[in-house]
Structure 1
Amino acid sequence: MEHLKQTFGMQDHLTRQQISSALFSTKMHDSTIIQDHMMKLTKLFSGLENKGTLFELDFKIEIIFASLPDAYSYFIMNFHMNKVVINNISELTNMLIEAESMLKKNKVVSLVTEKSSQGSKNQKKKRTKKSKKGKSTSVKGG
Structure 2
Amino acid sequence: MSEGSLVCPHVIKMIGYIQRLEILGFVMDVELSMDIVMQSLLDSFSQFILNFNMNAMEKTLSELLRLLKTMEKDMTKFKLVLLVAAAHGKGKGKQGRGKAKANPKFKRKTQDVIKPT
Identify whether the pair has TM-score above 0.5, normalized to the shorter chain: yes
In structure 2, what is the Cα distance between the partners aligned to 1:34 and 1:50? Answer: 24
User: 1:39 corresponds to which letter in structure 2?
Assistant: I
Report runs of 4+ in structure 1 exceeding 2 Å deviation: 117-120
Shift in Å, 1:108: 0.5
User: Which structure has the highest helix share of the two?
Assistant: 1
TM-score by length of 1: 0.63
Query: Is structure 2 residue 13 aligned with structure 1 residue 40?
Result: yes
Structure 2 residues without counterparts, runs of 5 or longer? 99-117
The AA in structure 2 aligned to 1:102 is D
Say yes or no: does 1:100 pair with 2:68.
no
Identity among equivalent pairs (%): 30
Kindly provide the amino acid, as one letter, of the partner of residue 55 in structure 2: N
The Cα of 1:84 is off from its aligned counterpart by 1.4
TM-score normalised by the chain length of structure 2:
0.76
Q: Say if 2:75 is the partner of 1:109.
A: no
Instruction: Check if 1:124 corresponds to 2:92.
Output: no
Which residue of the partner structure matches residue 64 of structure 1?
37
The 2-side partners of 1:113 and 1:80 are apart by: 33
